[in-house]
Amino acid sequence: MKVMVAMSGGVDSSVAAALLVEQGHEVVGVTMRLWGGESDTGCCSVSDVDDARRVAQQLGIDHLVFNFTEDFNEHVVNPYVLAHTQGITPNPCIECNRHVKFARLSERAALLGFDAVATGHHARVTADTDGDFELERGADRNKDQSYVVHMIDQAELSRTMFPVGGMTKPQVRTHAARLGLRTATKPDSQDVCFITSTGGRSTFLGTRIPFRRATMVDTEGVEVGEVPAVEMVTLGQRRGLGLAGGGPKQFVVDIDVEHAVVTIGDESHLRTSEQTVRNMSWVRSAAHGASFGEVLVQCSAHGMPQRASVSVDADGTTANVSWLEPQRRIAPGQSMVFYDPSDRFVLGGGICA
């Protein structure tokens, strides 16, 4: 099989490529150039491209670099900036996977005659007895990345491979060390690639949008202070609000960007029994008007799944989640992913309203 493997310069994608070579596939490594600006974090630095190229040399495979900076700006960076002006907390890594690392790369692979695309994500693609594809959690629960690739549908799953999905992270590093790969001990990337560790989110956004001061009030509407930039505030935020210590913990419970007002309250004001999820995508066909009596719902990459029932609207794009036990509200813009009751298989996911 002719396989295009996305090589980020990390150990997981390096071993993914190595395994495919060992299995006898015709493998070509590809590194996507996504962010054209300054980067000292994430997976887009010059050193990462160099690491990917050198690993490809070690494995004896060709290595290509695709310039997807325009796609990245259009689908990831620009929406990230816009979201902050609307009081939304975006998840750029998920949007990058959705629009670039899978959709765009799969499109390019098909044009070039590849049979499949592989990545180093810790997830698994399996098939049920009917031949439909399933998206399953990675074998290493501590490194499972099914949450961030939940948007892959049947068409893409049929052409997607996750070679390290059945391995633990220590096994991946051991395999890399056995082969003498230069990435064997390289630390994992943790941060958003276009946000530098020195400047942070405020520097990045501050050069692109004007910040506006916001009045901070309690749940009774009494003014208690102000924040320097309403665009930088997130639902559930506790630190960085400039509140005096010593009292009960206070959290952001509402953000009114239009009127530049931030409301704070105690944790009870964040608790909810229901949450709406929009822009749903499904691993199988859209669940038009379906109801799920019990699913497990995960609200962050490594969050603890919580039990809920779910009802889906007629067109399958909006879901109402009813928690079996009240949970903290999830910030608008964050992704919510549904798993089957066994907590193994992804059903679908969407974006919190």
Q: Which residues are marked as active site? A: 96, 193
* Token pair listed for 179: 């082969």
DSSP assignment of 52-91 equals: HHHHHHHHT-EEEEEE-HHHHIIIIIHHHHHHHHTT----
Beta bridge partners of 134: 126
d(CA 179, CA 172): 11
CA-based nearest residue to 138, from 281, 292, 12: 12
User: 106-121: b or e for each residue (b if 16 or more CB lie within 10 Å)?
Assistant: bebbeeeebebbbbbb
Burial class (CB within 10 angstroms; exposed 0-12, middle 13-18, buried 19+) of 253? buried
* Token pair listed for 272: 């909810």
d(CA 349, CA 330): 14
* Token pair listed for 339: 């798993």
What backbone torsions phi and psi does residue 152 show, to the nearest 5 degrees? -75, 125
The single-letter DSSP state of residue 102 is I
Stated length of the chain: 353
Write the single-letter amino acid at 202.
S
d(CA 248, CA 275): 26
Per the CB < 8 A criterion, the answer to whether 234 and 251 are in contact is no
* Token pair listed for 248: 């009960």
What backbone torsions phi and psi does residue 172 show, to the nearest 5 degrees? -65, -50
User: What 3-state DSSP class applies to 248?
Assistant: coil
